[in-house]
Amino acid sequence: MKSKPPLRTGISRILYAFLYSFHGYKSTFINEAAFRQELCIFVILLPVIIFIPVSIMFKAILFFANMNILIVELLNSAIETIVDMASPEYHILAKRAKDIGSAAVNASFILAIVMWGTAVYSVITMISRL
C-alpha cells in the first residue's frame, strides 16, 4: 500500500486537485462501462444541444441535465468502489448502498428524459405553427 500523499496548500493544492480529478475521470472511464456509455451519449447529444432551435436557457438546462448524468454516475462509481473494498463478500447493506447509488443515476436519467421530451415537444410545436 502506498503512503498518503503530502498535504498541499495554496496554488499547489488547486493544481493537484485538478490532477486528482483527471485521475478520477480516467479511472472511471477505464473501469466503468456505464460511464463510457453515458459519456458517448453525452458527446452525441452535445451538438444536438448546440443546434436545436430552442432558447439559450433551454440549451443550458439540457446541458445541465446531460452533465448531471455523468456527475451522478461518477458518484455512484465511487460508492460502488468503496463498498466493494469495504465489503467484498455479499452484505445486505452493501447491496442497499449500491442500489441507492443506482437509483440516483436512474433519477438523473429521468430528469434528462423529461427535459429532452420538453425540448422536442417545444420544437414540434414551433414547427407546426409555421
Count of CB atoms situated within 10 Å of the CB of 39: 17
What is the DSSP secondary structure assignment for residue 129, as one 8-state letter?
A: T
Crossing angle of the two packed helices 56-86 and 33-51, in degrees rounded to 10: 170
Establish whether 32 is a catalytic residue.
Answer: no
Task: Specify the residue for cell string 432558447.
Answer: 55
Task: Name the catalytic one among 38, 73, 80, 89.
Answer: 73
Handedness of CA 7, 13, 15, 20 (dihedral sign): positive
Inter-residue contact 70 to 45 (CB < 8 Å): no
Inter-residue contact 44 to 97 (CB < 8 Å): no
| Active site positions, annotated | 73
